[in-house]
Amino acid sequence: MAMPFNADEVFEMAEQIERNGGKFYRAAAEKFPAVRKLLLRLAEMEDDHERTFANMRAELSTKETAQTVFDPDGQAQMYLRAMADGHIFNPKVDPVEQVAGKDTPEDILNLAIAVERDSVAFYVGLNRCVSQTAGKDKVEAIITEEIGHVAILSEQLEKLAGRG
């Protein structure tokens, strides 16, 4: 199956996902002091990932940034943005609103785990589209870190439940 997006567009979407994640974790940290330190640490990790993807994007060759399909209206890019914005750390919903419906730290951690799992799935797909020269090893490192986020969040959830 052909990828209708070039590497530049895919990295742009990855940057948006990480930016959205940082906003989400900061908003959650304000509401849940019991897990504030953890959430702020995760926000910083998301910021690091965003910078990594921005650097990878800046290093792309002209060939990797060329449009892969005729798209004079930019619909492919709009679709990518909609995917990033609508499925993983949705910025169309104010992060404060996203956490407003959550009443306990456990609620927010369960939501964060679900979103981190979605980001892992996205990055595994992204990794299949990235060449070695475009930073496949960096994407793999981010996948490992995102899996680590799920583990960190799960461990904290166990602690809050008195099982850890």
Reading the block at residue 100, the tokens are: 């407003």
Count CA atoms closer than 13 A to 68's CA, side-chain side. Answer: 14
Residue type for 90, please?
N
Mean pLDDT to the nearest integer, 134-149: 82
Dihedrals phi, psi of 162, to nearest 5 degrees: 80, 15
User: 7-16, 35-44, 122-131: which range is least confident on average?
Assistant: 122-131
Q: Write the pLDDT tens digit of every residue in 31-51.
A: 999 999 999 999 999 999 999
C-alpha closest to that of 21 among 46, 54, 40: 46
Residue 62 pLDDT grade (very low, low, confident, very high; cuts 50, 70, 90):
low
More confident residue, 56 or 164: 56
